[in-house]
Amino acid sequence: MTTPEILTRALWRAADAVCFDVDSTVCMDEAIDELAKFANKDKEVMDLTLRAMRGDAQQLPSLPPTSSYPWELISELHARGVAVYLVSGGFHAIIDPVAQKLEIPLKNVFANSIKFFFTGDYAGFEESEPTSHQEGKAEVCAYLKHRFGYRRLIMIGDGVTDLAACPPADAFIGFGGNQVREKVKQEAKWFVTSFHELLSELRRN
């Protein structure tokens, strides 16, 4: 075990706030792909999504369709008085119900809002939301630290936008339980493949 990993584990055990990515972290899939299949545009959207996840394109919004909730881990964090946030480039319309099932307050969800034309057709997403662009997760972490004075804020996720949120996050934990991004695996000081690893480390205290 390397010194950076030891330090990251220690920060995790002492966390006062945790920000979780949603797609391919809290939820199993990159749901924009599922949405694309429904619209028969899966190849075009998958190509764009892969480029975005590798850091080659602007962050795309997504809708988590199938979920594998880290129930026990988040319950443990709540019991310890640790603030839990969902920070995603996806849409509130789908992420908010996920937050409610995990008993995460909706005010702790940072995501995008869908816009529609008066005809009801999709008109894009609200570009003023921080998570609508590549540096948005870092902005959210900086805002939370400034607003609430968190000293040990941890970002957990599978993508390069999650990795880029540290700093200002005090530590980043790479998550490969659903998808393994090689850049994230290589650059994360601690990389896990299950929520059980995080829970076990937390319970060392």
Report the C-alpha gap between 109 and 84 in whole angstroms.
9
d(CA 53, CA 103): 28
H helix or E strand, kind and range, residue 86: strand 83-91
Closest to 134 measured CA to CA, from 23, 64, 29, 60: 60
Question: Has 42 been annotated as catalytic?
Answer: no
Is residue 23 flagged as an active site residue?
Answer: yes
CA triple 168-107-166, angle to 5 deg: 15
Query: Encoding tokens for residue 158?
Result: 């599978």
DSSP-derived 3-state class of residue 108: helix
Q: Which of 16, 23, 29, 47 is catalytic?
A: 23
Task: Using alpha carbons, select from 25, 72, 28, 60 the residue that is nearest to residue 172.
Answer: 25
Residues labelled as active-site residues: 21, 23
